Amino acid sequence: MTDLSRRDALAAAAIATLAAAMPAWAQTARAEAAAWDLTELYPDDAAWDKARRDTLAALAQLAPYKGRLGESADTLARALTLQSDLYRTIARIYTYASLKADEDVRIAANQEKQGQAIDLYTAFGEATAWVAPELLAAGAGTIDGFIAGNAALKGKFDHYLANVLREAPHTLSPEGEALLASATSPLAGPGDISGQLRASDVPWPTITLSTGQQVRLDSQGYTLTRDAPNRADRKAVFDAFFKTYGDFKNSFGATYAAQVKGDIFIAKARKYPTALAAAISGANVPEGVYRTLVAEANAGLPQLHRSFELRRKLLNLPDLAYYDMYPPLVQLDRSFPLDQMRTLSMAAFQPLGKAYVDSFAKASAARWMDPLPRPGKRPGAYMNPGAYDVHPYLLLNLSDKYDGLTTYAHEWGHAMHTLLANAAQPFEKADYPIFLAEIASTLNEQLLVAHMLKQAKTRQEKLFYLGQQIEAIRTTFFRQTMLAEFEMAAHERAEAGQGLSGEAFTTIFHDLLVRYHGPKVAMDPVYGNEWAYIPHFYTSFYVYQYATCIAAAAYFSHAILTGGAKERDVYLGVLKAGGSDYPVEILKRAGLDMTTPAPYRALVQLLKETLDQAEALLG
């Protein structure tokens, strides 16, 4: 599987201008951390633009193959190779433009370049819209015969062709496919508009903290202050931030309603029963995986609620509210400079073997990442798979605290996954689906916390790292499943013919917050506006995969840490498989069946055991 949606989804944080000044530590460290080198993609903007224009013109080379795909195996192989080569070039063009755009979101010319790259994807979709219908017209018998008799088809395109045949009931005529391809840009409108609202149009409030510091509560200001040590400050941050979203919930409600209706339009056009079925069909994920995840997360809520009581005790609070969710359970007075992040990650990754660690050491010493925050830079963190013929790139905004270290290990997990898949697979089979993507990153976080726990010398340190494990499960498994349940509820409401509005979305989200956090966590109704803050909702039915992936990562990390080379190699085989098969099947071959409750119950059990350890340390 190779498509824009996966590449963009890995970078799904909203585009917004950094309002805060660069931290003092980052100003000192920046001289030691050279940013990425994009000349490996294109030497300059002129070379990029020439490649873009040449590729746009080259799309016409596909037209002579129209009506001939069923002619012979050799003809089909040549057509698919041309299609693949064009896509390979477009991916490189998009990578350069998107990375340039994110270096400083205030530079309009670079934002325009990214728009041109996306338009090129759209043009490619229109130019190839006839391919799948024509393959289906040739018939499974003909296509299977071609694959058996042609090395290129068998080695590069067998999975792609099998997937096209599988999707036959949902493939339209050439004209219909071309029409849907043309709709890509307008259907992206709701996400674009909501992002613009957040970035430039909403008048974010400025509040004064107990320290005297004034903070503008845009998305970044909220993220930086929601864990304030002073409880009254936390409450003030939450109340002001989510009240502002509430003030604009009609506008955000209109954008998200349009997103939901667009999803339903695509589902109906492709003859899927629901938007959920349409969204997960591309990677052939059974719908039962999604619904089993939601059911098992709800069944595990008693352990989550138990973690909240531990949080209350460790924070020494008389009660607990939603605004108390982000302060660390235990303080750790330790900084992690960038070079130490690399050293600690290398040590933590030792269970993955010498070849993995050596490859990471070489890659992390190169200029593949932009690590530190600065004004204008896109916030958040992501790994861009880059160009198959070059290497991945990482955008980071690292703090010098433990969260910066975990982000570093997480995003390098994505990068190593990409390197392993690219080395083991041809371009056509290298790009792994999102359902697998977060396993490598989350597993690296788990190896890191296991390493840090081993090194911890005091009860305080041990409690800190156990707290990190608890929080990872809370935020990545339970919170992401809660968000996935919201998406499902919003779409099902629309599919049932019920009205959509910001008010309705706020009610649904507030009810979920209350259920997931339990009766002992105070939940002001204004916090129900949080749905409008989540940009991931504009990549529909995406977030559930964070939850499935942490369950899979926990399975593999336990096997690796308690086993040996065999268990390690089974896991690395998952990474090397890339997109050569459907993700659920790749995991089944590795001994993990995500269609059953077992992986999710095992993760809830890990939370229970971690809570047991923390409570034993408290005495």
451-485 confidence digits (pLDDT tens): 999 999 999 999 999 999 999 999 999 999 999 99
**Mean of per-residue pLDDT scores for the chain:** 92
Helix, coil or strand: residue 468: helix
Percent of the chain exceeding pLDDT 70 equals: 95
- The domains of the chain, with CATH numbers, are 4-171 (1.20.140.70)
Helix, coil or strand: residue 353: coil
Q: Residue 325 and residue 327: Cα distance in Å, rounded?
A: 6
Helix axes 249-269, 502-517, angle to 10 degrees: 90
- What letter does residue 447 receive in the DSSP assignment? H
Q: Where does 248-398 have alpha helices with state H? A: 249-269, 275-281, 287-299, 301-314, 338-348, 354-364
Residues identified as active-site: 411
Tell me which residue of 453, 353, 458 sits closest to 402, measured CA to CA.
453
477-512 residue pLDDT tens: 999 999 999 999 999 999 999 999 999 999 999 999
316-360 residue pLDDT tens: 999 999 999 999 899 888 999 999 999 999 999 999 999 999 999
Q: Residue 344 and residue 361: Cα distance in Å, rounded?
A: 11
Q: For 378, what's the count of Cα atoms within 13 Å in the CB-facing half-sphere? A: 23
Helix, coil or strand: residue 31: coil
Is the model's pTM score more than 0.85?
yes
Q: Residue 587 and residue 563: Cα distance in Å, rounded?
A: 18
Q: Residue 416 and residue 357: Cα distance in Å, rounded?
A: 10
Q: Residue 92 and residue 479: Cα distance in Å, rounded?
A: 34
What contacts 343, CB < 8 A, 6 or more positions away? Answer: none
Q: In the structure encoding, which two tokens stand for residue 87, read together?
A: 């896509």
Helix axes 459-473, 434-455, angle to 10 degrees: 170
**Residue at token pair 């990549």:** 539
Q: Where does 394-531 have alpha helices with state H? A: 402-424, 427-430, 434-455, 459-473, 480-495, 502-517
Q: What is the mean pLDDT of residues 216-233?
A: 94
Cβ neighbours of 238 (radius 10 Å): 24
Q: Residue 500 and residue 491: Cα distance in Å, rounded?
A: 9
If pLDDT is split at 50, 70 and 90, which confidence band does 34 have? low
Q: Residue 529 and residue 247: Cα distance in Å, rounded?
A: 9
What contacts 593, CB < 8 A, 6 or more positions away? Answer: 587, 599
CB environment 14-29: b (16+ within 10 A), e (fewer): bbbbbbbeebebbeeb
Q: Residue 602 and residue 296: Cα distance in Å, rounded?
A: 10
Q: Residue 394 and residue 419: Cα distance in Å, rounded?
A: 13
From residue 289, alpha-carbon distances to 83, 286, 325, 606 in Å are 33, 6, 28, 20
Q: Residue 278 and residue 270: Cα distance in Å, rounded?
A: 8
357-370 residue pLDDT tens: 999 999 999 999 99
Tell me which amino acid residue 302 is.
Answer: P
